[in-house]
Amino acid sequence: MKHSLLSVLFIIGTMVFTLTASAQSGSQGVFNVYNNTTNNIVIGFYTNDGSGWSDNWLDDDLEPGEGAQAEFFADSGLCEQLFQVGWLGEDDSEIMDEPISIDICEASNVYLDDNEIYFD
């Protein structure tokens, strides 16, 4: 697990849960991201709270088999988020997956597999 990725995901969790909104969120939570692919490298992780896409939150790549965890604390925040993952292409370009809607208050794990992304 890369230390800077943990910091990035902590910032994402903090940002997501400190936004003002009428939605409820837990006061404490853990959010895990797992790159379960065979040989695909995550080079981008983007969020959208409804005001537009963020810059890339990753400082370092997330290699196959790596995971990261963020712990966050907040009294309120926006539960419904979009996130989008960028993968390293064969020509070193970034290949973007389709945006995925996630209820961050309900889901605590995001799994990045070879042919799907899902959460629970």
Task: Give me the CATH number covering residue 107.
Answer: 2.60.40
- How much is the pLDDT for 112? 92
pTM of the prediction?
0.68
Q: Which domain holds residue 58?
A: 3-119
- How much is the pLDDT for 106? 80
C-alpha–C-alpha distance, residues 30 and 78, integer Å: 16
| Phi, psi angle pair for 96, to nearest 5° | -95, 135
- How much is the pLDDT for 29? 58
- How much is the pLDDT for 56? 82
Under-70 pLDDT residues of the chain? 1-31, 69-77
For residue 75, with 0-12 CB atoms within 10 Å meaning exposed, 13-18 middle and 19 or more buried, which class applies?
A: exposed
* Domains identified in the chain, total number: 1
